[in-house]
Amino acid sequence: MRSLLVAVSGGVDSAVALQWLKREGRAVHAVHLRLWPGGDRRAGGSPEALRAAQEVAAAAGVPFEVLDDAEGFERTVADPFVAAYLDGETPNPCVVCNRRRFALLARRAAELGLDGVASGHYARVVAHAGRPYAARAADLAKDQSYVLWALGEESLARLVLPLGDVTKDEVRAAARRLGLPAAARPESQEVCFAAEGYRRFLASRGVRPRRGRFVDRRGRTLGEHDGQWRFTVGQRRGIDVPGGPWYVLGRRAAENEVVVGRAGELVAGEVVVRDVVDRGIGDAPGRGPGTGGETGGAPAGGGEPLTVQLRYRSPAVPVRALEARPGGRVLVRLERPFSAAAPGQSAVFYRGARVVGGGVLDAPETSQAR
């Protein structure tokens, strides 16, 4: 791909990616996505972020434009984020955001007659059996393949990720050598539109405190709280209940209850996943997980075993078996127990470094029932 639309946030990663692509001799066109026009400098789409992106494009001497999707972002990312917390889940908005923005970038690249899209994500695009897949970055500490699992094959086929084979330290060093203003800029926030924390964001969207109960798994009242949305599975702080330490085991949104217990009760040997995208979770792409009964973690034809990552910065866990459940859900049996799997987070499946599918962690029946 000789011509690329390059997403530029104003940070060091996209600045270096843009410079490297230009030095390779590619025709590059910079674009800044205005997704959340907040005043906080850490918010994506803020005036400061826009100025920084303009600096990046000017330093590279390339065309620059702003693509405004604030209305669409609010409807498809921010509003569902609030709804998920109120429904008792801990959402991962970066997955939904990446799927939307890469589709927008691909559409704009096509309008400009460009070959593809590039960004400063720490991940790779690899080919396997003639198909493109997202894959882990060389810098595992910065790897972002986890939040790219929902990208479709069409998006991946036109995607270039220049930072997939380098480390963050190498990128910072390159930015200093190039004299880029972005070299000293701090890391961006994981949730760009909730830079002050999700509780303050929910409050800004009209979510008000509401008294509810801390309960154990048998439904016995242990204390009170100001709203189940203020907690997530595995949380220890903020549980005002005598006799601790207590940990959040689950949330019952309809009753505004937070189920608490001991640390050992967080550990589970299986999880349930919904909204599954399968690109090789089973023995072959397109074969549904659990088809024909239980499916072990290793493909029938040999190759790399199946693993699943259940939290953004957690190590992947080997999969022992998959089993179909009603409603298109999949029961994932793990080779070793995992602690504090939070409903609403992503379950991302890998074969080696390659992303072969994903889905959303569903609430286990044990946390919903009294």
Give every CB contact of residue 213 below 8 A, 6+ residues apart in sequence: 221, 222, 223, 224, 225, 255, 256, 257, 258
Which of 185, 182, 184, 188 has the alpha carbon at shortest distance from 42?
188
Based on its alpha-carbon atoms, the radius of gyration of the chain, rounded to whole angstroms, reads: 22
Asked if residues 249 and 236 have their Cβ atoms less than 8 Å apart, the reply is no
Which of 322, 257, 333 has the alpha carbon at shortest distance from 288?
322
Instruction: Let me know if 194 is exposed, middle or buried by CB neighbors in 10 A (0-12, 13-18, 19+).
Output: buried
Q: Which residue has the tokens 């080779």?
A: 335
Which of 3, 64, 65 has the alpha carbon at shortest distance from 28?
3
DSSP 71: H
d(CA 277, CA 133): 13
Give every CB contact of residue 292 below 8 A, 6+ residues apart in sequence: none
Q: Which residues of 11-35 are buried (b: 16+ CB within 10 A; e: fewer)?
A: bbbbbbbbbbbbeeebebbbbbbbb
DSSP 261: E
Give every CB contact of residue 61 below 8 A, 6+ residues apart in sequence: none
Asked if residues 273 and 328 have their Cβ atoms less than 8 Å apart, the reply is no
Catalytic residue chosen out of the listed positions 21, 31, 148, 192: 192
Catalytic residue chosen out of the listed positions 97, 150, 202, 341: 97
Does the active-site annotation cover 97?
A: yes
Does the active-site annotation cover 192?
A: yes
- Which residues, listed in sequence order, are joined to residue 205 by a DSSP beta bridge? none
Catalytic residues: 97, 192
